[in-house]
Amino acid sequence: MRGQLACATAAATLAVVLGGGGIAAHAGLITSSQIVPVPVGMVGSGNGTLDFILLTESAGGSQNNAGAFNGDNANTQMPTGSGNTTANESFITSIGELRQFFILNFPNGSGGSTVNQLVVMVDVNETGGPQSINLDKFDIVRNFAAFAGSDPRNDPLNNDITSAQQNATNASYSGGTLLANLDASPKVLGQVSVGAGHADQAIFTGINPFDPTYSNSDRILLHWESSDHDNGGETIFISGTLGPQDFVPEPGSLGVLGLAGTLAARRKRK
Segment 50-102, tens digit of pLDDT:
799 999 988 877 899 878 899 999 999 998 877 788 999 999 999 999 999 99
Whole-number pLDDT of residue 105: 92
Query: Are 98 and 17 within 8 A, CB to CB?
Result: no
Confidence band (pLDDT; 50, 70, 90) for 127? Answer: confident
Against a cut of 0.75, is the pTM above it? Answer: yes
Whole-number pLDDT of residue 181: 97
Whole-number pLDDT of residue 10: 36
Strand boundaries in the chain, DSSP class E: 28-30, 35-37, 52-55, 87-94, 119-123, 132-142, 177-182, 187-190, 201-204, 219-227, 235-238
In this predicted model, which residue has the larger pLDDT, 160 or 255?
160
Report the distance separating Cα 221 and Cα 197, nearest Å.
Answer: 24
Confidence band (pLDDT; 50, 70, 90) for 153? Answer: very high
Note if the bond before 156 is cis, omega within 30 degrees. Answer: no
Residue 49 has pLDDT above 90, yes or no: no
**Average pLDDT of the residues in 225-250:** 84
Whole-number pLDDT of residue 248: 60
Whole-number pLDDT of residue 240: 92
Confidence band (pLDDT; 50, 70, 90) for 14? Answer: very low
Q: What is the pLDDT of residues 181-203, one digit of tens each?
A: 999 999 999 988 776 777 899 99
Whole-number pLDDT of residue 58: 84
Whole-number pLDDT of residue 129: 61
Whole-number pLDDT of residue 61: 79
Whole-number pLDDT of residue 252: 42
What contacts 75, CB < 8 A, 6 or more positions away? 54, 55, 56, 89, 90, 91, 163, 166, 167, 169
Residue 247 has pLDDT above 70, yes or no: yes
Closest CA to 94 of 206, 203, 1: 1
Whole-number pLDDT of residue 91: 98
**Average pLDDT of the residues in 171-179:** 97
Whole-number pLDDT of residue 96: 98
**Average pLDDT of the residues in 238-249:** 82
Residue type, 161: I
